[in-house]
Amino acid sequence: MKLKLTHSILMYLNNANLLYLIIAIKDKRGIKIMIQSNTDIKQINRKNVLSYIYTQRSATQKSIKDTLQLSRSTIVQILKEFEDQKLILRGEVLESTGGRPATSLRFNPNSKIAIGIELLAEHYEIIALNLYGETIKFEKFISPYENTESYYTLVCKSAQLLIASVTNDPDRILGVGIVLQGLISTDGTQITYGKILDCTGLRIESFSHHLPYPCLFFHDAEAATADEMWQSSQLNNAIYIHIRSNMSGSIIVNRESLVGTELKSGVFEHMTIVPGGKPCYCGNRGCLDAYCSTNALFNKEETLESFFQMLRTGDINIKKRWLEYLHYLALAINNLHMFMDCPVILGGTIAKYLQGSDIKLLHQFVQNNTAFPTEREFIKVTCCPDSPISRGAALHFIKQYLRSLLGNNVTF
């Protein structure tokens, strides 16, 4: 068959009983030809249909046909496959507009479930999420961390009980993400540095031996960043500073945590801001963590709630400590912002106590010290200050699964 190619041509070619789609595109550099088989086209159509239903949450055959320009027979066949797989559910019969009443089609978010676990010094938390990232169940367990087999057995038993309470089908579980304050190996299977919890060398087998699902470790800032991205659809690049009893952080590039060689997205909580300053748990002096974690902010008898209550009621000594804290945090923010000109997001347990006046002070302190002043307000508070960090670990498995279903048509 002889083809005359102009600007953009779509043509079908029947060759050896196989259907191919020839796409010819002419641009300034010449003509490019892409050939896709019938199988490829079917896969593209399936992903486009499911992606449409997922993003719309509810659709009809007509809305799918009008939007995607597919034949009714193709849509009916695809929908039947999805119904058989329980990926979509038939909803209510809609009011007739003159013809046969349409039936709504809904994506089934509970067809798969992901589990997130966070281990902390005094307690652990477990969460179950559906495919929209919505919480199905969340539980908190008061039990001090121990680097012992009996502790890991206890955590896994709690996870199994929570799973059993939300589903009796283990095939619905995508995986279990486990969040720790520590550095994680690139494959997510080992704690390479866990001084805060004294768990260096811990391997994922301590959990996977008890949980018959894919299991992975996640750094706490990495998990918090994943949740931030899930709930901030317009954010592309950012510096995320996670402030709680100990600090951590992440660099976000193109909606993903920047993955380094060993230190993941970096450990800028251990950059030196005061040479020879206060001792840090890492063994060095003058680290950001030693000045801007919440442990560094308040005394042992204080809590975040009591500290900020006294601050907001005008306690002079508390205000003096707060201003000193903000000066050090501004120094770090300015250094990071010089490295990467993008929004700086403040998260962690401190986030829900921060007010607009605190952020204005931070901006002013940065302006006073930077070589390149700007009127642009680039420091922001996380959009999800009350979200459990365990969400981010579960979201890893959800995004992985959705990409296998939807391709790259949906932004996470």
Query: What's the chain look like in SS3?
Result: CCCCCCCEEEEEEEECCEEEEEEEEEECCEEEEEEEEHHHHHHHHHHHHHHHHHHHCEECHHHHHHHHCCCHHHHHHHHHHHHHCCCEEEEEECCCCCCCCCEEEEECHHHCEEEEEEECCCEEEEEEECCCCCEEEEEEEECCCCCCHHHHHHHHHHHHHHHHHHCCCHHHEEEEEEEECCEECCCCCEEEECCCCCCCCCECHHHHCCCCCCEEEEEHHHHHHHHHHHHCCCCCCEEEEECCCCCEEEEEECCEECCCCCCCCCCHHHCECCCCCCECCCCCECECHHHHCHHHHCCCCCCHHHHHHHHHCCCHHHHHHHHHHHHHHHHHHHHHHHHCCCCEEEECCCHHHCCHHHHHHHHHHHHHHCCCCCCCCCEEECCCCCCCCHHHHHHHHHHHHHHHHHCCCCCC
**What is the CATH number assigned to the segment(s) 8-93+102-107?**
1.10.10.10
Residue 65 phi, psi dihedral angles, 5° rounding: -65, -45
pLDDT digits (tens, 9 = 90+) for 309-331: 999 999 999 999 999 999 999 99
Q: For the chain, give every domain's residue range.
A: 8-93+102-107, 112-223+391-406, 236-381
Fold type of domain 112-223+391-406: Nucleotidyltransferase; domain 5 (3.30.420)
Question: Rounded to two decimals, what is the model's pTM?
Answer: 0.86
Specify the CATH number for 236-381; select among 3.40.30.10, 3.30.420.40, 3.40.228.10, 1.10.275.10. 3.30.420.40
Predicted pLDDT at 15: 40
In this chain, the answer to whether the domains covering 112-223+391-406 and 236-381 adopt an identical fold is yes
Q: Which residues of the chain have pLDDT under 70?
A: 1-39, 92-101, 262-265, 409-410
